[in-house]
Structure 1
Amino acid sequence: MSPAMIFNIHLALGYVPWLLCFVAYIWPRLRSMEPIEAQRAIATLHSFRFFGLVFLIPGVVGPDLAPDFASFAAYGDFATGLLAKLALVAVARPAIFWPLVVAFNLAGVVDLVGDYYLGTVLDLPGHAGQLGATYAIPILYVPLLMITHVAAFYLLARSRRHQIAAT
């Protein structure tokens, strides 16, 4: 089996355990929380996305990792993480908190979809070895990030529907 095929299998299968864990343990808890607390929990997870800057460190990634992919992934994660941190700091001010929740989730989804797109265009699977120590990020971490973005948007929509129904 080629390294590219193994990488693609890893990408696809990375979602399976996270979805199983999410459905069994995380989702029931998030749904039972007050909307602001559920979004705080998701923002806390995403506040660690400063770690994506590791894609820019020579020696951690291989010298032939596509610079366009590395830069987009690194700075997209960094921006998302900063927005998530700002949301956490602003939690006591809902008028600031909620727009920041929307912003970090939009930035995060654009980042991850852009990473998948660039990874495909730049043949990241064919050069997966260039990910070096960061190989685990798209395989183990990204699936949870994408799942929680989807959950955050669902919770935002559900919360909005309840607000409209209450008026």
Structure 2
Amino acid sequence: MCAGASVREEERRLRALVGFYDSFLKLTLKGLRDVVGERGALSVLKFAAREYGARLAKGFQALSSMDAKEALEEMLKRAGTEPSVTEEGGVLVITLRKCPFRRPEEEPLLCAITEGLIEGFLSAFKKARIHKQKTLAEGADSCVFSVEVLG
């Protein structure tokens, strides 16, 4: 087997795996919503995502000397979101041109995961409050979050 065929086969395998987990996550979110309701599901997802974001940030803090903005942008790049992180009057504006999930419009609760991840990540550096401005799931051309750094 030539190297090109091997790479294509691995790419197909990875795409299938991503598709499986994406579908599984959406089914899990539906079940969560059915059991604890919309508000309960939102709370659980944001809590878990904030915790995960904080853990990721600790890894960045241990392995590099990046500041919060640089580290956040790098983490979001690794997630495949094509991020832009700018500062406007002391507020970070985070624009994501791609969603880390497939077809986010099918499950708007996915946005809570992204929102919580960003908040948890930044809060590991300094207390932060995030505000969702618009999302791909809502039909926008990008996801935009604004973040107030509180301390």
Q: TM-score, normalised by structure 1?
A: 0.32
The structure whose RCO (Cα within 8 Å, separation 6+) is larger is 1
TM-score, L = length of structure 2:
0.35
Considering fraction of residues, name the structure with more strand: 2
- Name the structure where helix makes up a greater proportion of residues: 1
